[in-house]
Structure 1
Amino acid sequence: MFDRAKQILIAGFCINLCIGILFTWSVFKKALVVNLGWSNAEASLPYTVAIITFSVTLLLAGILQDKFGPKRVLIAGTICSGLGLIASGYITSPTQLIFTFGILAGGGIGFSYACLSPAAMKWFHPSKRGLVNGLIAAGFGLAGVYLAPLLTSLIASYGINYSFNILGIALLCIATPLAFTITNPPANYVPVASTNKEEKKAVVAQAEMRWTDMLKTTQFYSIWIMYLCASSTGLMIIGNITSIAATQANMTDAAHLVVILALFNTSGRVFAGMLCDKIGGLKTLTLSFVLSIANMILFPHYTTHAGLILGMAVAGLCYGTLPAVFPSLAAGFYGLKNYGTNYGVVYTAWGVSGFIGPVIAAAAVDSTGTYELAYFYSATIMGVALVFSVLTKNPAAKTATNTQPEKNESLKVNATA
């Protein structure tokens, strides 16, 4: 069964490598503006709609996979993503691309992404939950590293329309067959326990919760606010990399900064997942938030190439912490039985942050001509997140004092989340 667990993990990682195309939209955007003569607003709107659709469908997919299992939902998601990309190659107007990429492909990505972590976590012992989440999420972040140069080459050779077609066909041929391999473990499956004494202490008794019960806990609102604040800061940097480089360091070509951020974003997901298993999710978030606040305070002083590399690396590392730790928090606080739905509700914070981050940056630049005010606002909201990370307590701690795990093994969850 452990070999089967590793197969699920590898397949999930590879599927995320295929569907992580949202990180490469800047390449498409540039081609739409330069090659097709679209305005920046027209070229940005499909991406904005895709983020919204991604967030909404992730919640819907979480509900469906809790009920029907991950395989069918995941297959539908990869097919929808591939067809959406292929259809994007035949568009003739911004409105059409909003539908084909923003809604069809964006929805398919949400359906696919929602199924991978829940399925993988059920195959592994709770003491490995952070690492599993980190590795699965790393595939999504790593996609930008190879897709950005690949798409640049494809667009230069075949044009943007054929590039959409090629990407869609490749996704269908690679991700869809892998989707058939993703399943939940058998009902009587018990993950292999760790031999590490500290990791064994990570397991305590806690009842599974539905989303309606989750909303009655104060911890949910703490998690939601922390996710909102941290994501807003990360997306503010990610969405303005090239503009920040041009404004602060007079860099006209900052494409390599995108790759650097993507690499550290990926590394952050794996490292944070491992750290989460060792010291707990809340402590991991606290360390990440402190580092992010320091980075935002220092960002106005990154006026050289080396300084911007450092700033982008730290920003990527901190942002990468989020998709590794927050799924573990949701699973550890509220169980795995209804995890798809529960995490879908938590993930709405990321969808809202997609508005806040760009608004912070736009307001700062429009009013002052620089990003310094955006850094100040980001440091402030990260301070709010830091307070919540320190004050939030794991509900498992209280539950464990009133529960006898030896009488109900099915109630075990990861307290280190």
Structure 2
Amino acid sequence: RCCTPHPCTVLLPLLGPAHSVLRLYLCSHPLLMLLRRAVLSVALCCVAICGGFVNGFDLYSGPLARSMALSPTFTSLCASASVAGTFFLLPAGTLYDKYGPVKLAIGASSVAASSFIGLSFVPDSTGPGARVLILLLLLLVSFGSGAAFCAAFSAALSIATADAANDERKSSKYLPAVVSGSMGLSVMFCSSVIALVESTAGDQCDAAQANYSGDSVCWRAVVRTLGFMLLGIQVPGALAMLAYRRRDYAQLQSTDTLPPVERPLLPDPTDRPQLLRRTTDRRMTLRDVSSYVASDPAFFVLCWAYMAAIGSPIWFLTSASSILDDFLRGEDSPWLKLILPVWSGCNAAGNIVIGGALAALKVRFGVRYQAVLAVTSLLLAGDFVLLAVLRAHDAAFSSLIVFLLLLTGTCFGVFVLLFPTVISEVYGDRNFGKFYGFVQIAATVGGTVFPVIGSRFHSAEHGYLYMYIFCSVCLAIGGAGMWWRVKR
């Protein structure tokens, strides 16, 4: 009698000896619920840490470009494609609202893993067919990775929000930061996998690195290994998310059966506070959300800020080696290999350390996340201004430059954590997937356009001076807009 209904219970008779064990696991006894919560937390982190593998494209883009004779512009386009789907989450958000995080995570992680493995079998050819296939598979990888992370992070947000509303398990307020930080560690994890592949490939890998006209075994082995890592870590993590039961964490239980908001949303569409309340206590269709978004200027401000906040670090992430080489002027440095793993660690620190501290400050002092986002955007704008000044004066490579470059990773971690949290707070959990999907369209534009613009600037001036200025202007506008939202 301690067990509550669960979709998996229909499969219990088919499991044989595992019947009793799984039945106990699904039981609602407090100790077993605590065990289920621990398993769920680990599963969310497993899904998240593999969700960022696609961000490691810069680690193997050089061998891929040389072996397939890709132009710098097309390589930048591939880099944009590798992250574009990660942020274009409107379809994933709609699926999340309809089917929940478990089904979305299982399906998305399977798509990402199979696409990664398929990428390793692209034929060696310089024709347009092979290039289109590479672009398509990178898009599928990024779509799958982004949707899987959306499922994991949204589940973590739901747990933290519901527990805060019920004044239970106050430690769960750190769960979104931990899950987001796990994705921040993905590039570091990815670089470790690549180093392992290169060490085990031995002479074949060295020969491929020396002669890119031959068999490109190195990057193929890397991509194939990443695909099997997804199968071995992310897919089981998604399956372990069966411990998540959405109704346990849904807020406003009494409104679960309410119909969608009737159109028009309000007789007076200018009554923003009442309209905002309607978005948080009822389920809305995609058409309802579209109508709301189109009539809310503050939402467009949020989208611009998110576009600049995501596009600038993504440009750095996809061009890190070239950016660092621009300051080194052809000199050798250990930072050429260390920059991305260390940047990934700074990203995780921005998620976990700063995110956890902000969660505690919010509970204790009522810190507003939108104000934090405004300050962080302005801070990153100043960071790019300093980089532009150093580049304009041909400053020698120093620890200051390394610090400024790594600061982009820390700010990126704060952005990835707080923007979804703000959306959840402002627009509610019931329609989080749809609103988050619309905001992620802006991130898709930023993650796609900024690397291409950076490549154009680099080709025109043989440097990134104007790109630093461009990023700083976009971030300054976004930070000012977020501050306006706070005052509004």
Fold shared per TM-score above 0.5: yes
Residue number in structure 1 paired with 2:323: 244
Stretches of structure 2 lacking an aligned partner (at least 5 in a row): 1-32, 124-129, 202-216, 252-275
Give ranges in structure 1 of 5+ residues lacking alignment: 192-204, 396-417
Is the 8 Å Cα contact of residues 40 and 241 (structure 2) preserved in structure 1? Answer: yes
Tell me if the contact between 1:207 and 1:334 (Cα under 8 Å) persists in the aligned partners: no
Tell me the secondary structure at the aligned position of residue 370 of structure 1: coil
CA distance in 2, matches of 1:246, 1:18: 28
Q: Equivalent pairs: percent with the same residue?
A: 18
| Residues 1:3 and 1:208: Cα distance change in structure 2 (over 3 Å) | farther
Change (3 A) 1:394 1:126: farther
Aligned ranges for residues 7-406 of structure 1 at < 5 Å?
Answer: 7-35=39-67, 37-56=69-88, 58-92=89-123, 93-99=130-136, 101-124=137-160, 125-126=163-164, 131-155=174-198, 157-158=200-201, 159=217, 160-182=219-241, 184-185=244-245, 187=247, 189=249, 206-209=277-280, 210=284, 211-212=289-290, 214-215=292-293, 216-250=295-329, 251-253=331-333, 254-277=336-359, 278=362, 279-300=367-388, 301=390, 303-393=396-486
- Give the deviation of 1:105 after TM superposition: 1.9
- Report the alpha carbon displacement of residue 38 of structure 1 after superposing the two structures with TM: 4.2
Question: Could you tell me whether the CA contact under 8 Å between 1:12 and 1:136 is conserved in 2?
Answer: yes
Give 2:3's aligned residue: none
**Residues in 1 aligned to 2:439 and 2:115: alpha-carbon distance in whole angstroms:** 26
Deviation at 1:111, TM superposition (A): 2.3
CA RMSD of aligned residues (A): 2.7
User: CA 1:4 to 1:393, structure 2 compared with 1: closer, same or farther past 3 Å?
Assistant: farther
Distance 1:32 1:206 in 2: 50
TM-score, length-scaled by structure 2: 0.71
* 1:186, distance to aligned residue in structure 2 (A): 5.0
Contact 1:19 1:109 in 2 (8 A): yes
Shift of 1:114: 1.8
The answer (yes or no) to whether the contact 1:12–1:182 under 8 Å persists in 2 is yes
Structure 1 residue 392: Cα displacement: 0.4
Whether the 8 Å contact between 2:93 and 2:434 is mirrored in structure 1 is: yes
Q: CA deviation at 1:118?
A: 1.5
Residues 76 and 455, structure 2, Cα contact 8 Å, conserved in 1: no
Structure 1 residue 213: Cα displacement:
5.5
Distance 1:187 1:232, change over 3 A: closer
Maintained 8 Å contact 2:58/2:317? no
CA distance in 1, matches of 2:38, 2:426: 25
Q: Give, in angstroms, the shift of residue 36 of structure 1.
A: 5.1
| Closer/same/farther in 2, CA of residues 47 and 246 from structure 1, 3 Å limit | closer
Contact preservation (8 Å) 1:268, 1:316: yes
CA contact (8 A) 1:260 1:312 kept: no
Q: Determine the C-alpha separation between the residues in 2 that align with 1:38 and 1:359.
A: 15
Output the amino acid matched with 2:381. Answer: I
Deviation at 1:292, TM superposition (A): 0.9
Q: CA deviation at 1:299?
A: 0.9
Q: Distance in 2 between matches of 1:347 and 1:162?
A: 32
1:188 and 1:166, CA in 2 relative to 1: closer, same or farther beyond 3 A?
A: closer
For 1:387 and 1:63, the matched residues in 2 are separated by: 30
| Cα displacement (A) at 1:97 | 2.0
1:136 CA drift (Å): 1.4
Name the residue aligned to 1:412: none
Q: Number of aligned residue pairs: give it.
A: 380
Aligned 8 A contact 2:97 2:432 in 1: yes
8 Å Cα contact 2:350-2:411 kept in structure 1:
yes
Q: If the length of structure 1 is used for normalisation, what is the TM-score?
A: 0.82
Tell me how far 1:176 sits from its aligned partner. 1.3
- Report if the CA contact (8 A) 1:78-1:171 is conserved: yes
Q: 1:308 to 1:168 in 2, by over 3 A?
A: same
- Note closer, same or farther for the CA distance 1:21–1:186 as it changes in structure 2 (3 Å cut): closer
Q: Rate the CA distance shift 1:156–1:94 in 2: closer, same or farther, 3 A.
A: farther
In 2, are the aligned partners of 1:233 and 1:378 still within 8 Å (CA)?
Answer: yes
Q: What is the one-letter code of the residue matched to 1:53?
A: G
Deviation, structure 1 residue 333: 0.4
Distance 1:3 1:283 in 2: 37
Indicate how the Cα distance of structure 1 residues 365 and 262 shifts in structure 2: closer, same or farther if over 3 A, else same.
same
Retained in 2: the 8 A contact 1:154–1:163? yes
